[in-house]
């Protein structure tokens, strides 16, 4: 390695040994001087206990554990202690490496009894961060009753305790963690832990705050854990690290185990033929904190871990990512958190990222998997990011072609997913949410100009809670906004067991609580096959399976066909299938929408219609609203006890406002409907049919729309405009909407 490690004279890395030696100075500036062959790492760091070469040792680490320290003498004590055997002293009875339990112990016999012990000083590095001090104890109470013991520290001349523990009548272990210095609750400094300067640790031990019954203690010791993040700078200069090997099955790994870059960055680096096996993996960084800045990174390789990100496994407290290309195959058992780019994180800003993922999870269990990111719980923005590939799982949980789970405000702009999702589960103990773009999403997310093209297939065997499958998103709630988004993948559910059914939608399977959909569409076909028993009826729609509570759908459409073999159903609620939506529940607004798909349904005691299978108006004083909509698809239903209509079927007694809504009575094969107006095919091809109903509609000399109205933004030849806003519904307002 050459250079001095400064901004103007960075260390230059010439080989894989230089690369490993970055761990010797985690704050310096580095750059690659040439391509690095890391193939030799397959023979590094032999572990005789595991019988493996562990390979490269990640640069920077999180949760480094120092060797524990045991008592070397009694510092001070108070109260009344019984010592057994009686010829001993306090510290001597609790310092065993292997606890001897009742062969030697100290026993607190009165309230507020405590003992503090001396110990050898720690010697943690000066650049350690995230320091946690833990006091461990092995104890029991000698009779039934309530009593309390606490970890005890002497810091800066005063004694402090934290947490309480009511031990069992049998010996068990407990650790009480001091994540900050109790003198002022500031972060620990290395000096304070190493016994240097003001407010350092002087002694440790236990406090018994209630000794009725008595508490017996047979072992006490202290430990410290900390992190050593890489906080320097790396410029790869466009060079490649090839064949980096890590095999550390119980560790959290990456090229960098942990980073805390601040204003520094990692950029312009390629990694090819990566081979990593660990408990958790981020190929570049396992744990990135404090505004990590990463750009121009290309990665290709094989990853084997249950917690995994193709670039970063965990992003904490912000990150900037740009101009990266990731191509990873991930193999995991369950439960798993897997993301093609990021495993999970918060406050992420990512743009111009391309990901190819092949993710395979086995063994059942609860998973969160996303083609780009598995999960996030905080504000993020993704712009011009793309995913493609496949996800296969034998478990349950949340799956998305782009993101598995999200909560809190996120923004997706011009992002897309072409990830196929295949789930085959046996005896799932929780539900499945699978979407071509997003699995589970809530709380003010915005999706703008995004699309999903991947197919989704869910096969449920044994006893299963059920599934929700959407061509774009499975579950959406709490004021989500979707603008100019679409889904084109085919979706399939096959039930071979006893399962709690499944909602399906060409765009969204379940949407609830003030979502807005504008200029969105779904074109994929939907297939539901029940070969077993369902315990709850499904809701299936060409665009939405089920939507409710102040939802707004404007200028949206669906064209996919639905084939549903539901079978015998005799439960309290009926199943529902609709060309646009399976169920519209309570206060919903649907304007300027249409459905073209055919419905072929086999089952008993359901409700089926060309546009909405069931408009459920059960709540008092609440109604739904439909204006300027139509459907034309065939509605073919086989079975007993079904409600079937050409356009909209209604459940409940509250008013449903329907204005300018039509269906083609000839192509649908249905002459009646609870709501809507049936027209012949010829009438559906006539402008006056719609103009006389209040549609502001125009035509060209050449009709490219098959004779039916299309939305103007589709760049076809029919344009229709809502001339005036509809009347208010409950507390909702309906602005005029123009279709251009």
DSSP one-letter string for 73-103: EEEEEES-EEEESTTS-TGGGS--SS--GGG
Question: Final residue of a domain: which of 192, 226, 260?
Answer: 226
Tell me the C-alpha to C-alpha distance, in Å, between residue 59 and each of 23, 49, 62, 248, 545: 5, 23, 10, 14, 48
Q: Which of 606, 595, 596, 511 is nearest to 565 (CA)?
A: 606
Whether residue 618 is found in the same domain as residue 697: yes
Q: What is the pLDDT of residues 675-734, one digit of tens each?
A: 999 999 999 998 889 988 988 776 643 344 568 888 888 864 344 433 333 333 333 333
Whether residue 634 is found in the same domain as residue 658: yes
Measure the CA–CA gap between 171 and 169, rounded to whole angstroms: 7
Residues sharing a CB contact under 8 Å with residue 625, sequence separation 6 or more, in sequence order? 588, 589, 590, 591, 656, 657, 726, 729, 734
Q: Which of 439, 53, 445 is nearest to 249 (CA)?
A: 53
554 is a domain residue: no
Whether residue 300 is found in the same domain as residue 166: no
Tell me the C-alpha to C-alpha distance, in Å, between residue 198 and each of 152, 157, 188, 192, 195: 19, 9, 12, 7, 9
599 is a domain residue: yes
CATH number of the domain enclosing 186: 2.60.120.260
Helix/strand/coil (H/E/C) assignment for every residue in 293-347: EEEEEEEEEEEECCEEECCEEEEECCEEEEEEEEEEEEEEECCEEEECCEEEECC
Question: Final residue of a domain: which of 226, 257, 285?
Answer: 226
696 is a domain residue: yes
Q: Is the link from the previous residue into 85 a cis peptide, with omega within 30 of 0?
A: yes
Q: What is the pLDDT of residue 653?
A: 64
Strand partners, 55: 246
Whether residue 513 is found in the same domain as residue 372: yes
Q: Is the link from the previous residue into 335 a cis peptide, with omega within 30 of 0?
A: yes
Q: What is the pLDDT of residue 37?
A: 98
Whether residue 279 is found in the same domain as residue 339: no
Give first-to-last CA distance, the chain, whole Å: 63
Whether residue 499 is found in the same domain as residue 366: yes
Q: What is the pLDDT of residue 342?
A: 97
Nearest 5°: phi and psi at 116? -120, 145
Q: Which of 568, 510, 507 is nearest to 539 (CA)?
A: 510
Whether residue 85 is found in the same domain as residue 105: yes
Q: What is the pLDDT of residue 568?
A: 84
598 is a domain residue: yes
Radius of gyration of the chain (CA): 32
Beta strands in 455-535 (DSSP E): 456-461, 463-464, 467-470, 473-477, 481-483, 486-487, 491-495, 498-499, 502-505, 508-512, 516-518, 521-522, 526-530, 533-534
Whether residue 214 is found in the same domain as residue 325: no
154 is a domain residue: yes
Measure the CA–CA gap between 226 and 180, rounded to whole angstroms: 12
Question: Final residue of a domain: which of 494, 516, 536?
Answer: 536
Domains of the chain: total: 4
Q: Is the link from the previous residue into 44 a cis peptide, with omega within 30 of 0?
A: no
Q: What is the pLDDT of residue 529?
A: 95
556 is a domain residue: no
553 is a domain residue: no
What torsion, rounded to 10 degrees, do the Cα atoms 272, 278, 283, 289 define?
A: -170
Beta strand 245-253 pairing with 463-464 = unpaired
Measure the CA–CA gap between 611 and 628, rounded to whole angstroms: 12
Averages of pLDDT over each 10 residues, the chain, 740 residues: 96 98 96 98 96 97 91 95 92 92 94 95 92 97 94 96 93 96 96 96 95 94 96 96 97 95 92 97 94 94 96 92 97 90 94 97 90 92 97 94 92 97 88 95 91 96 89 92 97 91 92 92 97 90 92 95 90 89 89 96 95 79 81 96 94 80 97 96 90 76 62 60 37 30
Q: Which of 167, 44, 153, 23 is nearest to 105 (CA)?
A: 167
Whether residue 598 is found in the same domain as residue 693: yes
Q: Alpha-carbon torsion 147, 150, 154, 155, what sign?
A: negative
Q: Containing domain of residue 240, as a range?
A: 1-60+229-330
Whether residue 179 is found in the same domain as residue 247: no
Tell me the C-alpha to C-alpha distance, in Å, between residue 220 and each of 139, 142, 180, 499: 9, 18, 20, 51
For 427, left (φ over 0), alpha (ψ -120 to 50), or beta?
Answer: left
Q: Which of 595, 513, 515 is nearest to 552 (CA)?
A: 515
Question: b vs e for 574-600, b when ≥16 Cβ sit within 10 Å of the residue's Cβ?
Answer: bbbbbbbbbbbbbbbbbbbbbbbbbbb
547 is a domain residue: no
Whether residue 307 is found in the same domain as residue 443: no
Whether residue 254 is found in the same domain as residue 309: yes
With 0-12 / 13-18 / 19 or more C-beta atoms within 10 angstroms meaning exposed / middle / buried, residue 253 is buried
Q: Which of 641, 628, 468, 476 is nearest to 541 (CA)?
A: 468
């Amino acid at each position: 390695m050459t250079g001095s490690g400064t901004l103007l004279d960075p260390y230059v890395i010439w080989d894989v040994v230089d690369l490993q030696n970055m761990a010797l100075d985690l704050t310096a500036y580095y750059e690659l001087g040439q391509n690095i062959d890391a193939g030799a790492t397959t023979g590094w760091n032999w572990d005789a206990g595991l019988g493996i070469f562990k390979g490269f040792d990640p640069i920077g680490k999180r949760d480094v554990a120092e060797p524990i320290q045991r008592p070397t003498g009694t510092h001070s004590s108070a109260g009344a202690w019984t010592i057994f055997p009686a010829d001993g002293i306090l510290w001597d009875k609790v310092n065993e490496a292997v606890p001897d339990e009742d062969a030697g112990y100290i026993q607190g016999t009165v309230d507020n009894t405590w003992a503090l012990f001396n110990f050898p000083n720690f010697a943690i590095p000066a650049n350690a961060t995230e320091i946690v001090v833990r006091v461990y104890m092995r104890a029991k109470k000698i009779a039934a009753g309530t009593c309390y013991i606490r970890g005890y520290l002497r810091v800066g001349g005063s004694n402090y305790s934290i947490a309480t523990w009511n031990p069992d009548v049998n010996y068990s272990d407990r650790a009480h963690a001091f994540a900050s210095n109790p003198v002022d609750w500031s972060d620990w400094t290395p000096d304070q832990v190493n016994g240097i300067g003001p407010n350092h640790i002087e002694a440790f031990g236990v406090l018994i705050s209630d000794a009725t019954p008595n508490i017996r203690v047979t072992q006490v010791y202290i430990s410290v854990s900390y992190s050593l993040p890489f906080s320097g700078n790396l410029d790869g200069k466009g060079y490649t690290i090839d064949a980096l090997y890590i095999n550390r099955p119980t560790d959290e790994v990456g090229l960098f185990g942990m980073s805390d870059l601040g204003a520094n960055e990692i950029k312009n680096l390629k990694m090819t033929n990566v081979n990593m096996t660990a408990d958790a993996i981020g190929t570049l960084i396992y744990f990135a904190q404090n505004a990590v800045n990463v750009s121009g990174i290309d990665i290709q390789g094989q990853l084997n871990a249950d917690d995994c990100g193709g670039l970063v496994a965990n992003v904490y407290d912000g990150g900037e990512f740009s101009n990266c290309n990731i191509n990873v195959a991930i193999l995991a058992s369950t439960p798993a958190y897997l993301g093609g780019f990021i495993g999970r994180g918060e406050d992420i800003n990512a743009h111009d990222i391309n990901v190819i993922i092949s993710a395979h999870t086995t063994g059942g269990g609860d998973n969160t998997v996303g083609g780009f990111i598995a999960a996030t719980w905080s504000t993020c923005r993704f712009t011009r990011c793309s995913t493609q590939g496949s996800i296969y799982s034998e478990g349950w949980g949340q799956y998305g072609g782009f993101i598995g789970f999200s909560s809190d405000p996120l923004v997706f702009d011009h992002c897309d997913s072409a990830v196929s999702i295949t789930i085959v589960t046996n005896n799932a103990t929780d539900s499945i949410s699978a979407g071509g773009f997003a699995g589970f999403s809530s709380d003010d997310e915005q999706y703008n100009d995004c699309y999903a093209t991947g197919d989704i297939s869910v096969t449920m065997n044994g006893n299963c809670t059920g599934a929700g499958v959407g061509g774009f998103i499975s579950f959406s709630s709490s004021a989500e906004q979707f603008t100019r988004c679409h889904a084109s993948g085919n979706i399939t559910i096959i039930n071979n067991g006893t399962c709690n059914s499944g909602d399906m939608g060409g765009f969204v399977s379940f949407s609830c609580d003030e979502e807005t959909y504008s200029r969105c569409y779904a074109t994929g076909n939907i297939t539901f096959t029940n070969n077993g028993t369902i315990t709850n009826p499904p809701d299936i729609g060409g665009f939405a399976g089920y939507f409710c509570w102040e939802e707004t759908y404007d200028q949206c459409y669906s064209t996919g066909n639905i084939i549903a073999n539901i079978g015998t159903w005799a439960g309290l609620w009926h199943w529902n299938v609709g060309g646009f939506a399976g169920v519209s529940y309570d206060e919903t607004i649907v304007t300027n929408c249409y459905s073209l798909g055919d419905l072929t349904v086999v089952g008993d005691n359901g409700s089926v219609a060309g546009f909405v299978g069931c408009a459920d108006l059960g709540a008092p004083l609440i109604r739904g609203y439909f204006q300027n909509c139509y459907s034309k698809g065939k509605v073919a239903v086989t079975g007993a006890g079904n409600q079937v209509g050409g356009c909209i079927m209604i459940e409940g007694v509250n008013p449903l406002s329907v204005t300018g809504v039509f269906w083609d009575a000839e192509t649908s094969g249905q002459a009646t409907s609870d709501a809507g107006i049936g027209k012949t095919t010829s009438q559906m091809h006539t402008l006056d049919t719609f103009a006389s109903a209040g549609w502001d509609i125009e035509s060209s000399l050449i009709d490219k729309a098959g004779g039916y109205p299309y939305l103007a933004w589709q760049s076809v030849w029919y344009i229709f405009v809502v001339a005036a806003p509809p009347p208010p519904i409950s507390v909702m307002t309906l602005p005029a909407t123009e279709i251009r």
